[in-house]
Amino acid sequence: MTDLREIGEFGLIRLLTDHSLPHPQVILGPGDDAAVLSIGDRWVLYTTDMLIEDVHFTLKTTTPYQLGQKALAVNLSDIAAMGGQPTFAVVSLGLPPNTSTEFARELYQGMADMAHTHGARVVGGDTVKSSSLIINVALLGETEPGGAVFRNGAKPGDVICVTNTLGDSAAGLALLAANMPGPTAKHLVPQPRVREGRLLLGLATAMIDLSDGLAGDLAHICAQSGVGARIKKELLPISKEVRLVAEALNQDPVQWALRGGEDFELLFTVPPDRVPSKIGPSTVHPIGEIVAEPGIRLIDGETMTVIEGAYDHFRLGDS
């Protein structure tokens, strides 16, 4: 019998969604950052994300307040990646019975505060007893009808852009694992680019948030748009701090930028004559271009290598 290690996370998603029936109010079903539904005179966006102790986080390196902020932030980021305004969240918690009331209160406060910062509210949820801590957030967002950015609109010639810098989360994770001081804030409490996502409506031809790493998330845009991409290594925005951490830990910061994941910046494509230098409070960095030829290639001076690989929760060899 086939198991999930053979088909992988994306094979599982295909298996589960193969039989979803069309509905006149479903503008977009599975396969993007959020589902898009036509309700009343609005488009409603709907996303969910689950965090599990010792898979997605360890309580050794995060406070409950930070964890609550992150649980909301990863969902807000998916609404941002559609160009939507987040609205209402419900939160389901699986909690070990020996969890302190103070821990539960701080966790919830972190979620409420992160939601509030981006104009959203936590309006309900569920709690159950569990052997480890599980946090599931379901979040709604909204936008005007027709006003959402999908993953499938990238065209050859479009410029590939990212907001701010890459690899910060991977660097933070590496520092925490090595028990070393340094910049860990972006790993512990990512900042969803909600305002930027809204401002990119009508400008970006395709958009996704960087949850799995640039290589994997760009592959989703390319696959759904039926295009390929060329990235220039020298254009990858990596901060001086991240380069110093990489040097101290004997790691390659370019690999962190390409595959690190959890930066929760926006990755988007725009026509070449419309590349912004800033969007809201964020700096925009052009890093390459969309091409007709399939595959993602990294250009480093004269050499060009094919890169691939999204993080997959079920594949053999993944931790």
C-beta closer to Mg ion: residue 197 or 253: 197
C-beta closer to Mg ion: residue 78 or 289: 78
Closest separation between CB of residue 270 and Mg ion, Å? 19
- Copy the structure tokens of residue 54: 């010792």
Q: From CA 81, how far away is CA 67, in angstroms rounded?
A: 21
List Cβ neighbours of 106 (8 Å cut-off, separation of 6 or more): 63, 64, 65, 68
18 Cα distance to chain centroid: 24
Closest separation between CB of residue 264 and Mg ion, Å? 9
- 33 touches Mg ion by CB under 5 A: yes
Footprint of Mg ion on 170-209 (CB under 5 A)? 209
Here's the x/- map for Mg ion, 67-106, by CB under 5 A: it reads as -----------x----------------------------
The residue number with the shortest CB distance to Mg ion is 33
Q: From CA 200, how far away is CA 148, in angstroms rounded?
A: 10
Q: From CA 82, how far away is CA 102, in angstroms rounded?
A: 35
Closest separation between CB of residue 49 and Mg ion, Å? 8
Residues near Mg ion (CB under 5 A), total = 4
CB 168 within 8 Å of CB 210: no
220 Cα distance to chain centroid: 12
C-beta closer to Mg ion: residue 141 or 253: 141
C-beta closer to Mg ion: residue 210 or 246: 210
Closest separation between CB of residue 38 and Mg ion, Å? 21
List Cβ neighbours of 198 (8 Å cut-off, separation of 6 or more): 80, 83, 84, 85
Other Cβ atoms within 10 Å of 282 Cβ, number: 18
C-beta closer to Mg ion: residue 78 or 312: 78
Closest separation between CB of residue 190 and Mg ion, Å? 12
C-beta closer to Mg ion: residue 17 or 132: 17
C-beta closer to Mg ion: residue 166 or 175: 166
Footprint of Mg ion on 209-228 (CB under 5 A)? 209, 211
Torsion of CA 231, 237, 240, 241, to 10 degrees: -110
Closest separation between CB of residue 75 and Mg ion, Å? 9
Q: CA nearest 283: which of 186, 196, 157, 209?
A: 196
Closest separation between CB of residue 143 and Mg ion, Å? 16
* Contact residues for Mg ion, defined by CB under 5 A: 33, 78, 209, 211
